[in-house]
Amino acid sequence: MKLVILFSIGIILFSCKSSKLDTNIPFQIKKATYQYWTGGQPGVHGIKIELLLANLKEDITLQDVYFKNRKEKLYLKKSTEENTLFTANFNTAKDQNTDMILHDDPKKEYGNTLPNKVGFPKNITENQCVISYLQNNKEYFHTINLIKEENASYQ
């Protein structure tokens, strides 16, 4: 009986899916950048990520990007036969405009919203992001080194 239980636990543990980072990606990253930007009005600012890819097959769907404890959708911006450009835009102004009530009585904190920040289960550096993509209905993750571009100001 103990042997059956141990065997069952072993199968369950080995069959659990873990989110591993993929080191061999099925496409080429030609350029990966991020840029801080500010808008024409006070308090309007964010971070833009652009990924220029080559050899992107039809069975691959880029999903999300994790950067600086935030998560955003990757959007197709431009596609040619040679290259595909994806972009994500993080609105960092939201982070500063949330009024939180802090009180000894937790009932008085009702209505506070959580910050829009997520962590990723891997230590990444200041200039790295993690992308998620689907291939054949299986999710993969990959770390990308980003190049910081000059800040942009849209007036």
CATH number for 107? 2.60.40
Least confident of 19-33, 40-54, 110-124, 136-150: 110-124
pLDDT tens-digit map of 117-126: 666 656 788 8
- DSSP 3-state percent helix, strand, coil across the chain (nearest 5): 15, 45, 40
pLDDT number for residue 8: 42
Residue 129 lies in a domain: yes
Q: What is the pLDDT of residue 93?
A: 79
pLDDT above 70 covers a percentage of the chain that reads: 72
- Which pLDDT score, from 0 to 100, does residue 26 have? 93
Residue 11 host element (H or E) = helix 2-15
Q: Which domain holds residue 62?
A: 25-153
6 in a structural domain:
no
Whether residue 1 lies inside any domain: the answer is: no
Decide if 132 is inside a domain: yes
- For residue 11, being part of any structural domain is answered with no
Q: Are 32 and 52 in contact (CB under 8 A)?
A: yes
Q: Over the stretch 87-114, which tens digit does the pLDDT of each residue have?
A: 999 988 765 545 666 677 777 777 766 6
Strand order in the sheet with 70-73: 70-73, 60-67, 128-135, 138-145
On whether residue 126 sits in a domain, the answer given is yes
Over residues 118-154, the pLDDT tens digits come to: 666 567 888 999 999 999 999 999 999 999 999 998 8
State how many domains the chain has.
Answer: 1
Say which range, 2-6, 48-52, 121-125, has the weakest mean pLDDT.
2-6
Give the residue with greater pLDDT, 38 vs 106.
38
The whole-angstrom separation of Cα 81 and Cα 97 is: 42
